[in-house]
Structure formats: structure tokens, C-alpha cells
Amino acid sequence: MRRRYTAPLVALALALPAVLASAADASAAPADKGEVLSSWTQTSASSYNAWNAARNNQAAWSAYGFDWSTDYCTTSPDNPFGFPFKDSCARHDFGYRNYKAAGTFEANKSRLDSAFYADLKRVCATYSGASKTSCDATAWTYYQAVSAFGGSPAVDGTAVA
């Protein structure tokens, strides 16, 4: 009688870690990760503000496994002509890196680039006169660059030298 239970118990003991590991993997990121990512990468100021609040409290979002890393404006100046584009570039990096990790980058690239441009235009809206004109022109140039080259290995800093 004792042997009849030993084999199933040993099999259960050996299988339990695998079952628990797969359960942990399945719950690694909350089910709404895609929705949260989408909400933080829209063109609106409220989307930017929500992303920035989360960025300033990354620990609260750790279960989502977001990639918060950034190289800001990559090889372009972060603050060209004194215009503070650094945070706009950080959000753009956030969108690119997380959509690439999700495997849905191509489907979202255009919107991410549009959100980047909207962020830059909000920066420029704080200026007036010739400074605003210069900022707007610089923002347009940055937008055109990411529109044409964003996501390419050379621009992302992943090109082999």
C-alpha cells in the first residue's frame, strides 16, 4: 500500500516546481500592461503627465516590467539651442523600447513619433517670438529625423561599428 502512494507523491514533488514557475511567469506582468503602455504613449498632455508621474515613481510600476532606460536624444543634443527636449526624448525611448519588447513596435511607431512631436511642440509653446519660431523648427527637425530613421540600428545605437 505504501508503494502505491510513493510514486505519485515523488512525481508530484518533482513537477511542483515547474508548475509554480510557469504560474509565476504567467503572472509576471499584469494583464493590463498593454493598456497602460498605450495610455502613456498618446499625443495628449495628460498622457505625458501620467507617464512622467509613473517615471518619477517607477517602484510602484515594477510588476509591469517596463524598460525605463533612456539615452535621451541619442546622438542629437538633449537641449538644442537651450530648448529642453530631454524629457520628450526619454518618453520617446520608453515607447520605442517597450513596444519593441512587446513585439508591436511597427504597429505603434507612427503614433510614438507623433507623441514625441506633440511633446516637443508643448515645450516650444512656452516660448514666444523668434525663440518659439526657432524651437518649432528644431522640433520639426527632430520629428522628421525619428520619423525617417527612428528604430534603425544606427539611430538606436545598436549598429555594429
Give the tens place of pLDDT for each residue, 110-135.
999 999 999 999 999 999 999 999 99
Which cell is 67 given?
524598460
Contact 95, 108 (CB under 8 A): yes
Helix axes 45-55, 105-124, angle to 10 degrees: 100
In a domain? residue 46: yes
In a domain? residue 96: yes
Specify the residue for cell string 518619477.
Answer: 56
Active-site residue, 92 included: yes
Contact 78, 85 (CB under 8 A): yes
In a domain? residue 1: no
Report how many domains make up the chain. 1
CATH code assigned at 122: 1.20.90.10
The DSSP secondary-structure symbol of 78 reads: S
- The predicted-structure confidence for 35-84, as pLDDT tens digits, reads as follows 999 999 999 999 999 999 999 999 999 999 999 999 999 999 999 999 99
Q: Does 18 score more than 80 pLDDT?
A: no
In a domain? residue 24: no
Domain that holds residue 48: 30-156
This prediction has a pTM of 0.79
Tell me the CB-side half-sphere exposure of residue 73, using CA atoms within 13 A.
20
Which cell is 141 given?
527637425
In a domain? residue 152: yes
| Contacts with 112 (C-beta within 8 Å, 6 or more apart), sequence order | 41, 92, 95, 96, 99, 150
In a domain? residue 5: no
Catalytic, out of 37, 48, 92, 139: 92
In a domain? residue 23: no
In a domain? residue 3: no
